[in-house]
Chain A
């Protein structure tokens, strides 16, 4: 099976993404309940009457707060993103350009066998596009005015197919939830740090007269590990979100190519988008990982190798174009063979 085979690539990307999301969830659980384990072990041998950490308060509070944030993102995330970009919905297309956009979205919805998403235009001259929404039935696709001016019909179709792929693969849901998780972890790290500083005084005072006799060494190790995690959690969670997002971009390119059967058009669209590298001002950081190309004008975005791998929400455009052109070649080859045998 070749590296650039359309279906094989999708399968591989899906598997990698699953692992990344599983890692994210495990990490989340450790940050919440790890602290409880540490305190549970530390206070287990404490004399009767003094404080025993039995109920996993930190974990429960952290999970409740994180759950609340996720719920909010689930319910209102898409609306918030669209609202923040100042997008307006195309209901009655007024110009030929808008009519074409609506038509192309309808075409891609048919190709993906999905209901037609709502179509939005972002008043920004930099060409870019993104999709949002928690499921295909309530999804939205937004493109900038600059994109409509820059691309021809086929290229627009390529970009819309990429966004439709995000919707079909439920990336829009995953991304909204991931953004919320990153926010929740940052908040939790902040909050527990503050509680510890207040609570720490009392605990150390209580331990002083015991001389630390009943302490479990394992508990101290867990505690140190947990504190370390709290310190680096916000950074790591953000890096993980970016990693997931990068994988998803390749997958969306592949699925989009499967929808249009025309990977070359998306490749040529990406070339045009890369050429117009000005930052998309209307799209804020919160929606950056939803866009077809990094809207921040991030200098890591075009970097290959380690820095680009770690610090960019999108894979290098050059790399994506190469992969798409590989698919275009594969497609042409396969069609040629079919015709010959038919």
Chain B
């Protein structure tokens, strides 16, 4: 009886170790996959920008400096290596694009151009996808980091070669800032 109980406990522990180990490995792969997703979307944005620039070039001749800022930001983003540099270059590209889109508002023929609208939708979506990919990466990485630190899973963490995954921080302080909201009421007319 005692022996059976002992064996049962051993089997339960072994099953738990297998489960915890596989869980950690699966999470690790999900983190790597989430990181890949960010890359895919960044690449897609780089591919879309030349199209956009060519489409708006004719109508926006006066805004040459804005267009050139987008082009140079893109080439810097394409050639950037390493997490820090990439994040910085991509942040600048986002800002340059934002300025370009703000300017297209001044050109009625651009605003109603189907091609521009399509491209704008594509780039908006790609921006969103980059954001969501980052968010998904951070969520997965946090889950992975928490899991490998928690007791009793931390006992298996070394065996699964788990190490803390780096989170993608927002590089740009402007991006981090919360817009200020002015809630003061308009002054009542003097009575």
User: Are A and B genuine complex partners?
Assistant: yes
* Cβ-based interface call for B121 (8 A): yes
The reply to whether A103 and B121 form a contact with Cβ atoms under 8 Å apart is: yes
* Cβ-based interface call for A339 (8 A): yes
Q: Per-residue 0/1 for A102-144: is the Cβ within 8 Å of any B Cβ (1 yes, 0 no)? A: 0110111011110000000000000000000000000000000
- Collect the chain A residues with CB atoms within 8 Å of residue B129's CB: 106-107, 110
Number of A-B contacts (CB under 8 A): 48
Contact among B33, B114, B135 for A111, CB-based, below 8 A? B135
Q: Per-residue 0/1 for B114-144: is the Cβ within 8 Å of any A Cβ (1 yes, 0 no)? A: 1001100110110011001101100010000
Instruction: List the A residue with the shortest CB-CB distance to B140.
Output: A113
| Known A339-B176, A342-B176: A113·B136 in contact at CB below 8 Å | yes
Considering the complex, which residues of chain B in the window 128-187 have a beta carbon less than 8 Å from any beta carbon of chain A?
A: 128-129, 132-133, 135-136, 140, 176-178
Counting contact residues on chain B (CB < 8 A from A), the size range is: 20 to 34
Contact among A99, A111, A112, A113 for B30, CB-based, below 8 A? A113
| Known A104-B125, A107-B125, A110-B37: A339·B178 in contact at CB below 8 Å | yes
The reply to whether A111 and B136 form a contact with Cβ atoms under 8 Å apart is: yes
* Cβ-based interface call for A336 (8 A): yes
Contact among A107, A339, A342 for B128, CB-based, below 8 A? A107
Instruction: Quote the shortest CB–CB distance from A240 to chain B (angstroms).
Output: 32
Q: Per-residue 0/1 for A327-342: is the Cβ within 8 Å of any B Cβ (1 yes, 0 no)? A: 0000000011001001
Q: Per-residue 0/1 for B75-119: is the Cβ within 8 Å of any A Cβ (1 yes, 0 no)? A: 000000000000000000000000000000000000000100110
Instruction: List the A residue with the shortest CB-CB distance to B34.
Output: A113
* Cβ-based interface call for A63 (8 A): no
- Collect the chain A residues with CB atoms within 8 Å of residue B122's CB: 99, 103
* Cβ-based interface call for A100 (8 A): yes
- Collect the chain B residues with CB atoms within 8 Å of residue A96's CB: 114, 117-118, 121
The reply to whether A99 and B178 form a contact with Cβ atoms under 8 Å apart is: no
| Known A110-B136, A113-B140: A335·B178 in contact at CB below 8 Å | yes
Bound state CA distance, A113 and B29, in angstroms? 12
- Collect the chain B residues with CB atoms within 8 Å of residue A108's CB: 132
- Collect the chain A residues with CB atoms within 8 Å of residue B128's CB: 103, 107, 157
Q: Per-residue 0/1 for B27-64: is the Cβ within 8 Å of any A Cβ (1 yes, 0 no)? A: 00010011001000100000000000000000000000
* Cβ-based interface call for A247 (8 A): no
Instruction: Quote the shortest CB–CB distance from B94 to chain A (angstroms).
Output: 16
The reply to whether B118 and A99 form a contact with Cβ atoms under 8 Å apart is: yes
* Cβ-based interface call for A261 (8 A): yes
Bound state CA distance, A107 and B131, in angstroms? 9
- Collect the chain A residues with CB atoms within 8 Å of residue B133's CB: 110
The reply to whether B136 and A103 form a contact with Cβ atoms under 8 Å apart is: no
The reply to whether A112 and B136 form a contact with Cβ atoms under 8 Å apart is: yes
Instruction: List the A residue with the shortest CB-CB distance to B181.
Output: A332
Bound state CA distance, A289 and B135, in angstroms? 30
Bound state CA distance, A107 and B126, in angstroms? 8
- Collect the chain A residues with CB atoms within 8 Å of residue B121's CB: 96, 99-100, 103
The reply to whether A339 and B118 form a contact with Cβ atoms under 8 Å apart is: no
Instruction: List the A residue with the shortest CB-CB distance to B30.
Output: A113
> Which of B117, B124, B128 has the most chain A CB atoms closer than 10 A to its own CB?
B128
> Which of A103, A104, A336, A339 has the most chain B CB atoms closer than 10 A to its own CB?
A103
Q: Residues on B close to A: CB < 8 A?
A: 30, 33-34, 37, 41, 114, 117-118, 121-122, 124-125, 128-129, 132-133, 135-136, 140, 176-178
12 contacts between A and B (CB under 8 A): A96-B118, A99-B121, A100-B125, A104-B125, A107-B125, A107-B129, A110-B129, A110-B133, A111-B132, A111-B135, A336-B178, A339-B177
Q: Residues on A close to B: CB < 8 A?
A: 96, 99-100, 103-104, 106-108, 110-113, 153, 157, 259, 261, 335-336, 339, 342
A-B contacts besides A110-B41, A111-B132, A113-B136, 9 pairs, CB < 8 Å: A99-B121, A100-B125, A103-B124, A104-B125, A106-B129, A110-B132, A113-B140, A335-B178, A336-B178
Shortest 5 CB-CB contacts between residues of A and residues of B: A103-B125, A111-B132, A110-B132, A107-B128, A113-B136
